[in-house]
Structure 1
Amino acid sequence: MFDWLKALLLPAENPTVTQSIVVIMLAVGSGIFFGRLKMGKITFGVSAVMFTGLLLGHFGYRIDEGILNFIRDFGLILFVYGIGLQVGPSFFSSFRNEGLKFNILAVSTVLFGGLITVVLFKTTGLKMEDLVGIMSGSVTNTPGLGAAKNTIEEIKNSFPERVFNDPTIGYAITYPLGVFGIIGTIIVSKFLLKIDPEIEMRKFRMSKINSELPLIHKKMRVTNSLYFGKTLHDTIKSFGRNIVISRLKHSGSEVVQSPTLDVHLRERDVLMVVGLEKDVDDFVAMLGRPSSDLFIESDSEIHNKNIFVTKPSVIHKKLSELDLYNTYDLKVTRVFRAGREILPRPSLELFYGDKLRVIGSKEAIEEVEKIIGNSEKKLLEPDFLSLFGGLLLGVILGSIPIVIPSLPVPIKLGFAAGPLIVALLISRYGGISFIHSYINNGAIYFMKDLGICLFFAAVGIHAGDGFYDNFVKYNGWSWLLFGSAITFIPLITMVIVGRFFMKINFLQLAGIMSGSYTDPAALSFSTNYLDSDVPIQSYAQVYPLVTIFRIFVASLLILIFS
């Protein structure tokens, strides 16, 4: 009577499409459940899907080969594209600050791990595809494994007679070692270095006082006679730095205006100045003194409002082209983009999803809303044309063959690096034609988690087929030993160099360690263990470049030594 249910839920050697989908759902659902269980402060999160997939594969569950390849590759594409959109803006801007130092340390760690893998290849007799799997698992790097598998497929297409081992076996054996190795290194180094998270947090905040530059607004009164009768344009030009005068009230009047640059300053005028804190303070000191005037903030004719850019007609237009002040008597005082505040300049190009802080009359704001869009509902709805256009560009970029002399086949960025690079560039430049970078945070997290769950499920179930036999056949304990060298030697070196030579704050160093090994489980642990969100920032700064280097190292090792 329930034969149909048994056919759906029990293992099948040659599964149908429906049976394959059920197996994927079983792997993802059970993996998410077990991933939420806590072992002390540790949770495996979505990475537990890999282990439930291994178990299901071990007990005979299978996925149709065509579906498995699609689920694996499409999941990887979604995951890396979501990562690129999420960290793109902070990735590029970080290179102007300490991000360059962080990425040098992280990339050096990647290359060091690759060097250790080559040494093991020369000394152990293992095939390089097995060692690349061991390396990818030891550093918990899924895109590297995906790149290795793609490279092997490319070689097989050119040389059908060649036989390769599956790097997924080594990956599955050493992946737990990678997760616990990073966590253990964070715990031990915190103990040996006698780290107090509260002291580290104070040091971190002190170091950020001069580098964190939020925009502020401040009221001031003009008392310097040198500037009486001068225009705002001449005054700001002589100051030489970028500030905005959002409001002006002449002395003895209660009328507040959003001034043009040709307005002449008078004695005891009250101004509202917007800019970086140091610039604002210097400007106030140059023209006069701070003011406590209340009328400049309370005028009923002047309104503040945030307006979102959602109309296609204004995307990629400059503020000077919109000319909102001369047309609508409305001034833009700030632009919010990807969590950053930007001072508006005439040359500033608007991106989809930008939030403009405007000041002006109620009627003017309503008119400008019609032009710019301000549809928050639209921002909540995913733009699938933009999303899949970006994914398509990523797949095309990843499929371009790059010919390198002496290599047997051209190297390709693959499904891991191609979409990641496209997402980084789109998020940096706001978009390409109809493809834009804005996706709300909820959609990005959903895309990332769905993608990595599908990838883990496919890889785990495939690797679980004969996993125990392979562990015995390949002497899994020795593979764990080789993986330990790849895990711990670069990590320990990173701690020594980062702490003692580069003088990196330990909270940031913990994030760099997790980011260098692209390990979200270690990142989650470090934020709880150190009771700080600082590791997340440094994790995001190094993740993209590390991922690209992990992909290249894995592909090149296969091409050169297989």
Structure 2
Amino acid sequence: MDWLQSLLWDPSSVAHIVLLYAFVVAAGVYLGKIKIFGVSLGVTFVLFAGILMGHFGFTADTHILHFIREFGLILFVFCIGLQVGPSFFSSFKKGGMTLNLLAVGIVVLNIAVALGLYYLWNGRVELPMMVGILYGAVTNTPGLGAANEALNQLHYTGPQIALGYACAYPLGVVGIIGSIIAIRYIFRVNMAKEEESLKIQSGDSHHKPHMMSLEVRNESISGKTLIEIKNFLGRKFVCSRIRHDGHVSIPDHETVFNIGDQLFIVCSEEDAPAIVVFIGKEVELDWEKQDLPMVSRRILVTKPEINGKTLGSMHFRSMYGVNVTRINRSGMDLFADPNLILQVGDRVMVVGQQDAVERVAGVLGNQLKRLDTPNIVTIFVGIFLGILLGSLPIAFPGMPTPLKLGLAGGPLVVAILIGRFGHKLHLVTYTTMSANLMLREIGIVLFLASVGIDAGANFVQTVVEGEGLLYVGSGFLITVIPLLIIGTIARLYYKVNYFTLMGLIAGSNTDPPALAYANQTTSGDAPAVGYSTVYPLSMFLRILTGQMILLAMM
């Protein structure tokens, strides 16, 4: 029976370690699906499964636990960075600036409340443990990993801060959703009116492509070429088809417009009224029934050499006789601006004769199977650069120890930059959502399992004999107070729509259960938009601020 004893109890046995992680992850993920009052903890339950196994003595060598923990964290934050990179900088534009400022306010107030409680308890809770409670209260696991990394730099040997995290996390999830509900009743939000307000706001989507058929009625443009009309009007649009004397053709820049010509125009919704007034009037016309056998087809960009090229540089009209009317990227339709940068994974809407469209398909690739091949090089080049960046010491005045982005911050920053600017280095950053999610989930469950197993031996003693209830209460205050303050400011001063505010609250805490609750309350996507707008900056700040607190104050 020696083999069984080794399998179950030998912390240096590879078989034991794999068996332990497999059980902890499987049990944690399964139990995490159980809903209590409509709320589930998701993969975070892996942490509690790990704590349970660690409590009963099932563990692994410390250096192995640390390696798996850090590798899992690196995988998770890098995939997060790749996903949010393209939207990170654009999230600061227009209304996104207000939402991000409010999210920064939540992050700052979380820290302020945590430090206030640290001084209020007057030594009952150590600073590292309060940081662990802070990250449990805001349900941010990568921040916990970054804080652990900072403590390693400081050679910290005190209690595992994951104990504070585990105590605060459950009420953190409940507190976030509870704050959302409390704001609704405090301000007597009328859900129907908020829905109607959203519909009115969404009518101003001037980046979406708008398609229309126009008849030339303006005599001042009769006899003018397409390029002359574009230059004079000063608005961007694509004329993909023209019907002259009953014959349909694809216009080029030198095509002359005449009174009575019928045009198929694609433009932004913002420019549509001006174009209609300038050219003539809108008409109903079924272009599929016209005499020229033309097709419109979405072509998938799969060739790596196309990655990073602008639409205008491809010369589709002059070289192939086709027009590109719009681009679909990650489910969103974009107007075919000549300066738009093409990326692998884009779906390009092309209009032209069948043979010309086929030639363009060959140029762009249009082979779905290519997208199924993971771009491993980009991932590991990014991780390599991220580790180098995270290891660089950055000195700040007043800080006794130089700040390092660490194994969490470095890969996150590099991944965001690669996700946004990778095409300029001809790095293919496209990853299917399922592949990205798979890597993220593997990374986070490995991290949570390692933290739980490592902390399990002392967890019960801390909660029962130590300050466990104080940790729980502190976490709840850290969660609720900032959300109620910023929620009040957002509603009274900035007039933020309630559904958008729900997404803002969930995103600033990087909390998927709260987003899931918000999505159940509306038929629209406002919570998801609010969440995605503030998520990148919030995640970035959550990962860095804990390290800065520890390095500055210890």
Q: CA deviation at 1:5?
A: 4.5
Q: Is the 8 A contact 2:205 2:269 kept in 1?
A: no
Q: CA deviation at 1:182?
A: 0.9
Task: Give the match for residue 496 of structure 2.
Answer: 504
The residue correspondences of 1:445-464 to structure 2 (distance < 5 A) are 445-464=437-456
Q: Is the 8 A contact 2:206 2:269 kept in 1?
A: no
- Relative distance call for 1:318 and 1:514 in structure 2 (3 A) is closer
CA distance in 2 between partners of 1:427 and 1:53 (Å): 33
Task: Give the match for residue 317 of structure 1.
Answer: 309
Task: Give the match for residue 159 of structure 1.
Answer: none
Task: Give the match for residue 415 of structure 1.
Answer: 407
Q: Is the 8 A contact 1:382 1:439 kept in 2?
A: yes
Q: Is the 8 A contact 2:323 2:351 kept in 1?
A: yes
- Relative distance call for 1:298 and 1:390 in structure 2 (3 A) is farther
The residue correspondences of 1:51-90 to structure 2 (distance < 5 A) are 51-90=48-87
CA distance in 2 between partners of 1:295 and 1:352 (Å): 30
CA distance in 2 between partners of 1:432 and 1:323 (Å): 20
- Relative distance call for 1:486 and 1:360 in structure 2 (3 A) is same
Q: Within the alignment, does 1:193 sit opposite 2:187 as a pair?
A: yes
CA distance in 1 between partners of 2:451 and 2:523 (Å): 33
CA distance in 1 between partners of 2:83 and 2:116 (Å): 36
Q: CA deviation at 1:361?
A: 1.7
Q: CA deviation at 1:390?
A: 2.4
TM-score normalised over the length of structure 1? 0.93
Pick from 223, 234, 238: which aligns with 1:229? 223
What is the letter of the counterpart of residue 542 of structure 1?
V
Q: Deviations over 1:372-412 (max 9, x none)?
A: 21111111221212222223232222222211133232111
Give the secondary-structure state (helix, strand or coil) at the position aligned to 2:90. helix
The residue correspondences of 1:201-240 to structure 2 (distance < 5 A) are 201-211=195-205, 213-240=207-234
Equivalences, count: 552
TM-score normalised over the length of structure 2? 0.94
When structure 1 is superposed on structure 2, of 261-270 and 332-341 the one drifting more is 332-341
The residue correspondences of 1:307-386 to structure 2 (distance < 5 A) are 307-386=299-378
Pick from 459, 462, 468: which aligns with 1:470? 462
Give the secondary-structure state (helix, strand or coil) at the position aligned to 1:307. strand
When structure 1 is superposed on structure 2, of 343-352 and 434-443 the one drifting more is 343-352
Q: Is the 8 A contact 2:305 2:426 kept in 1?
A: no
CA distance in 1 between partners of 2:523 and 2:202 (Å): 19
Q: CA deviation at 1:88?
A: 3.0
Q: CA deviation at 1:432?
A: 4.9
Q: CA deviation at 1:531?
A: 6.1
Task: Give the match for residue 166 of structure 2.
Answer: 172
CA distance in 2 between partners of 1:299 and 1:421 (Å): 54
Unpaired runs of 5+ residues, structure 2, are none
Q: CA deviation at 1:420?
A: 2.3
Give the secondary-structure state (helix, strand or coil) at the position aligned to 2:515. helix
When structure 1 is superposed on structure 2, of 222-231 and 474-483 the one drifting more is 474-483
What is the letter of the counterpart of residue 14 of structure 2?
V
Q: CA deviation at 1:105?
A: 0.7
Give the secondary-structure state (helix, strand or coil) at the position aligned to 2:336. coil
Q: Deviations over 1:85-125 (max 9, x none)?
A: 33333333232221111111111111111122222232321
CA distance in 2 between partners of 1:212 and 1:232 (Å): 23
Percent sequence identity is: 37
Q: Within the alignment, does 1:137 sit opposite 2:136 as a pair?
A: yes
Task: Give the match for residue 106 of structure 1.
Answer: 103
Q: Within the alignment, does 1:150 sit opposite 2:149 as a pair?
A: yes
Task: Give the match for residue 20 of structure 2.
Answer: 23
Q: Deviations over 1:162-209 (max 9, x none)?
A: 644321121111111211111222223323333343332221221221
CA distance in 1 between partners of 2:149 and 2:424 (Å): 28
Q: Within the alignment, does 1:263 sit opposite 2:255 as a pair?
A: yes
Q: CA deviation at 1:63?
A: 2.5
- Relative distance call for 1:33 and 1:373 in structure 2 (3 A) is same
Q: CA deviation at 1:532?
A: 5.3
Q: Is the 8 A contact 1:426 1:436 kept in 2?
A: no
Pick from 237, 240, 246: which aligns with 1:253? 246
Q: Is the 8 A contact 1:140 1:179 kept in 2?
A: yes
When structure 1 is superposed on structure 2, of 432-441 and 378-387 the one drifting more is 432-441
Give the secondary-structure state (helix, strand or coil) at the position aligned to 2:154. helix
Give the secondary-structure state (helix, strand or coil) at the position aligned to 1:345. coil
Q: CA deviation at 1:296?
A: 6.6
What is the letter of the counterpart of residue 394 of structure 1?
G
When structure 1 is superposed on structure 2, of 394-403 and 44-53 the one drifting more is 394-403
Q: Is the 8 A contact 2:73 2:443 kept in 1?
A: yes
Q: Is the 8 A contact 1:248 1:296 kept in 2?
A: no
What is the letter of the counterpart of residue 181 of structure 1?
G
Q: Is the 8 A contact 2:298 2:349 kept in 1?
A: yes
Q: Deviations over 1:309-356 (max 9, x none)?
A: 222232222334322222221222222223333333333332222221
CA distance in 2 between partners of 1:258 and 1:395 (Å): 52
Q: Is the 8 A contact 1:310 1:372 kept in 2?
A: yes
Q: CA deviation at 1:530?
A: 5.3
Q: Is the 8 A contact 2:242 2:264 kept in 1?
A: yes
Q: Deviations over 1:204-234 (max 9, x none)?
A: 2212212464212111111111111001111
Pick from 540, 545, 553: which aligns with 1:553? 545
Q: CA deviation at 1:266?
A: 1.3
What is the letter of the counterpart of residue 151 of structure 2?
I
Q: Within the alignment, does 1:39 sit opposite 2:36 as a pair?
A: yes
What is the letter of the counterpart of residue 41 of structure 1?
G
